[in-house]
Amino acid sequence: TGDRFVVGQGATQKTWTAPDISIDASGPGQGLVGDTLSYRIDVRNPGDFTAKEVTVTQTLAAGVTLVGSTPPPASGGGALRWSLGDLQGGQSRTIALQLRADRPGNVNNCASVTTAEKLSAQDCVATTIRAPSLRVGMTGQQQAEVGQPVAFQVQITNTGSSALTGLVIVDRYDAGLQHASQ
């Protein structure tokens, strides 16, 4: 009759699959000179195919020294490198990194990851390194008569960039002087 009618109906869906790579660096926002600072580098393949020959690199920032890492880097010195091998889809690996803070200032620790497929990512952690510092000054009489009280003033100043806690002040003086309270 020339009328049209539906004989069948269907749909096609195509899912694209590929490897992917991401990196997340975390660590302390601040520390003191001499502290060992712990950082964590998490590498993940959020794709559904294997990412081949995954390599993580980090150049040590000025002012920090490598104490150790798990796993240990394949190379040391100023440029650290870890070969993580292949990462299956959805798989992740973690690098635990310990750095010693050598001097005050701002440190930007950046880690990057690359794969054989030319995928790459980078993440950074900024840490402020502070240095405690204390200045003590004392003023008082240069001369005194025997048996007469002598007054001294002690000025303690925090000249560093971090709070100081647990200070103990001890006053030692020459024989022949004694505190008014005995």
CA angle 108, 109, 110 (to 5 degrees): 110
How far is residue 3 from each of residues 6, 7, 9, 10, 174, measured CA to CA in Å? 10, 12, 18, 21, 120
Tell me the mean pLDDT in the region 93-97: 97
pLDDT tens for each residue of 24-66: 999 999 999 999 999 999 999 999 999 999 999 999 988 899 9
With bands split at pLDDT 50, 70 and 90, how would you rate the model's confidence at 76? low
Better-scored residue on pLDDT, 42 or 171: 42
Instruction: Give the burial class of 63: count Cβ atoms within 10 A of its Cβ; 0-12 exposed, 13-18 middle, 19 or more buried.
Output: middle
CA 177 – CA 179 distance, rounded (Å): 7
Q: Compute, in degrees rounded to 10, the torsion defined by CA atoms 41, 44, 50, 56.
A: -20
Tell me the mean pLDDT in the region 151-161: 83
pLDDT tens for each residue of 126-149: 999 988 788 888 888 888 888 888
User: Is a pLDDT exceeding 70 seen at residue 74?
Assistant: yes
User: Is a pLDDT exceeding 90 seen at residue 89?
Assistant: yes
Mean pLDDT for all residues in the chain: 89
User: Is a pLDDT exceeding 70 seen at residue 23?
Assistant: yes
Residues 6+ apart with CB under 8 A from 12: none
With bands split at pLDDT 50, 70 and 90, how would you rate the model's confidence at 150? confident
pLDDT at 123: 97
Instruction: Give the burial class of 107: count Cβ atoms within 10 A of its Cβ; 0-12 exposed, 13-18 middle, 19 or more buried.
Output: buried
pTM of the model: 0.72
